[in-house]
Structure 1
Amino acid sequence: MNVPECSSLVSSATSRRRFLRRAGGAGLAGLGATCLAPFVRADPFAREEERTRPLRVIAYNVYECTGWPKDRAMVKKATAAGQMPDRFARELALYEPDVINFSESPDEKVVQQIAERLEMHHVRFPSGGNWPGTLLSRFEIVDPQNAPVVGGERPADLFTRHWGRATVKLPGGESLIVHSAHLHPAPEPDVRLREIPAMLASMREDLNAGRSMLLIGDLNHTPDVAEHRLWTDAGWVDTFVKVGAGEGLTIKADEPTRRIDYVMAAGPIAGQIVESRPLFEGAFRTNPADPQSFALSDHLPQLAVFDLAK
């Protein structure tokens, strides 16, 4: 199994509320580390408030953090001024996320800047093509694996976007297995119908053992197709189906028409879902009354909240 390339690991010394108050969002500049640098260890004696606070998870195809539509003057100005990492971090911080998935991640330098501003660890999952993924968390991330296909290397025509697995250590010491994924986007389901069984084979031991797991990302299929049924038949719970309202559309950020971004859960955490919704709000969407407005991405983030005290 392949191991993801180096990631910057950032301590959580300051709350994100302080980040929101800081002018300029300087973050923790200078705390980059090598692949062998230790993470900040989860504290088994963490305060009860920290150990039982809701877990907030966001799946987000970030469109390389270039803004959407790319051709608008304000997008070009924000990009030229180097503002996009700060804009992404500030908007995401409003939702106090604990775990974030990025599909279509930008350059590692940009990801590092966002992680520093959010005071999160992160690990990068290289793509089989040109669309890497990133898993970020304010908790310790261990044992990352890139495209952990059972029995060997991934086929060249599968996982051309990204798929990675890692374990997030929750404040009380519990382990949460997280799969970050971006499946093939072709209108025909052929490739996805090969990708999903390969992923399920890799997940089978954890699913059978009843471990808490999340599957988060841009799965590039709607909830009414065979691909979705493969997940649910295997035991994955679509958090939006369980607790969401409306259609939950996630693309595009001006007038969304499809739901293709997901937070799915399995094991005990699947019984702790209390909220799931796309974030069709703030800087994640365009303003139809302003032809020069832009969104951070063409996708909307999908937020899911879990009550760990349930």
Structure 2
Amino acid sequence: MPISRRQFGTAIGASLALANDNLLANEPPESSLRVIAYNIYKLKGWPEQRLRAKQAVAEGQMAKRLAMELDLYAPDIINFSESPSENLTREVAEILGMNHVRFPSGGNWPGTLLSRFEIIESQNVPVSGTRPTELFTRHWGRATVQLPSNEKLIVHSAHLFPTADPTVRLKEIQVMIAAMKPDLDAGRSMLLIGDLNHAPDTEEHKLWIDAGWVDTFAKIGQGEGLTIKSDIPKWRIDYVMAAGPIADRVAESRPLFEGGFRLNMDDEQSFALSDHLPQLAVFESTQ
């Protein structure tokens, strides 16, 4: 039977308290930086047509469900593609105790960056002049995060154009790399995180690598690293890429095909948080 809003709130409170106690007992060392890239499908649940997904949305449960699941991985930085309304992503940020920046979309797919650390500046579509109307219809934003080591980390949050034809996507990447070049040439620590909508065996991927980006999963991951869909993953299109000194410190990179991120194929009423899987990367710190 569906539970009431009050019952759900009570259960959430107890669960969050237990989760926080467990995390404090098993907290990862401060010497690591934990990053998650996740296309959250506007927080509708997937498949969104299922009754339980509709009930969770109607009861206002989705932000809490997402925050609880993410909290298990003790993330320091999170990227959302296909964000829902800003009040929902801010609710996730508040539950996780994280700072929040929203990157407006050229269409209807805004991005969100959450950080446990201070976000000292941010810019949406960081190009000179006017935003190209035919590009970045999803999102692209740049932010600088102040790490506890006093290192400034540049984070690019991105969701590139979909479709099999790569023409628009290639143009987006070329514009992005041109904007990133001063930081790449200066050897600054940088992350590029999000749904890039291309596989690792494509010209798009080669452009990133040739520009100096390191695909963290290709460097250290196991298996194929497939990130979509969350029932039977078949493609790897979600990435945490790194450049500069931080790229030498990657210790783990894997999709999270588990928990509430994964669709239970044995339960016809179940739903996953999204049709994508999150991509987790862990970096050793200089501390």
| TM-score normalised by length of structure 1 | 0.84
Instruction: Judging by fraction of residues, say which structure has more helix.
Output: 2
Alignment match, 1:231:
208
1:98-109 correspondence to structure 2 within 5 Å: 98-109=76-87
Contact conserved, 1:192 with 1:227, CA < 8 A, in 2?
Answer: yes
2:273 is the counterpart of 1:278: no
Stretches of structure 1 that go unaligned for 5 or more consecutive residues are 1-17, 26-48
Which among 130, 139, 146 is matched to residue 153 of structure 1? 130
1:114 to 79, 84, 92: 92
The one-letter amino acid of 1:104's match is E
Structure 2 Cα separation of the partners of residues 50 and 242 of structure 1: 22
Q: Does 1:22 align with 2:21?
A: no
Q: Deviations over 1:81-109 (max 9, x none)?
A: 11001000000000000000000001001
- Quick one: which amino acid aligns to residue 201 of structure 1? A
In the alignment, is residue 82 of structure 1 matched against residue 60 of structure 2? yes
Shift of 1:309: 3.7
Aligned residue number for residue 131 of structure 1: 109
Q: 2 CA distance for matches of 1:270 and 1:204? A: 16
CA contact (8 A) 2:144 2:155 kept: yes
Q: Distance in 2 between matches of 1:154 and 1:198?
A: 11
Flag structure 2 segments of 5+ consecutive residues without an equivalent.
Answer: 1-12, 21-26
Q: Which residue of the other structure, out of 164, 174, 197, is the alignment partner of 2:174?
A: 197
CA distance in 1, matches of 2:276, 2:138: 16
Per the TM alignment, residue 162 of structure 1 is displaced from its structure 2 partner at its CA by: 0.1
TM-fit CA distance, 1:22: 2.3
TM-superposition CA deviations, 1:261-292 (whole Å, max 9, x none): 00000000000001000000000011111111
- Aligned residues of 1:221 and 1:260 also touching (Cα < 8 A): yes
In the alignment, is residue 70 of structure 1 matched against residue 65 of structure 2?
A: no
Distance 1:102 1:213 in 2: 17
Distance 1:185 1:253 in 2: 18
Q: Percent identity?
A: 66
Change (3 A) 1:20 1:178: farther
Distance 1:24 1:92 in 2: 11
- Residue from 145, 148, 158 that aligns with 1:168: 145
- Aligned mates of 2:14, 2:110 — CA distance in 1: 27
Quote the residue 1:94 is aligned against.
72
Q: Deviations over 1:1-35 (max 9, x none)?
A: xxxxxxxxxxxxxxxxx99642799xxxxxxxxxx
CA distance in structure 1 between the aligned counterparts of 2:96 and 2:45, rounded to whole angstroms: 19
- The one-letter amino acid paired with 2:109 is W
* RMSD, aligned α-carbons: 1.9
Name the structure 1 match of 2:282. 305
Aligned in 2, Cα 1:252/1:178: closer, same or farther, shift over 3 Å? same
The alignment partner of 2:267 has SS state of coil
- Report the Cα offset of residue 153 of structure 1: 1.4
Q: Is the 8 A contact 1:102 1:134 kept in 2?
A: yes
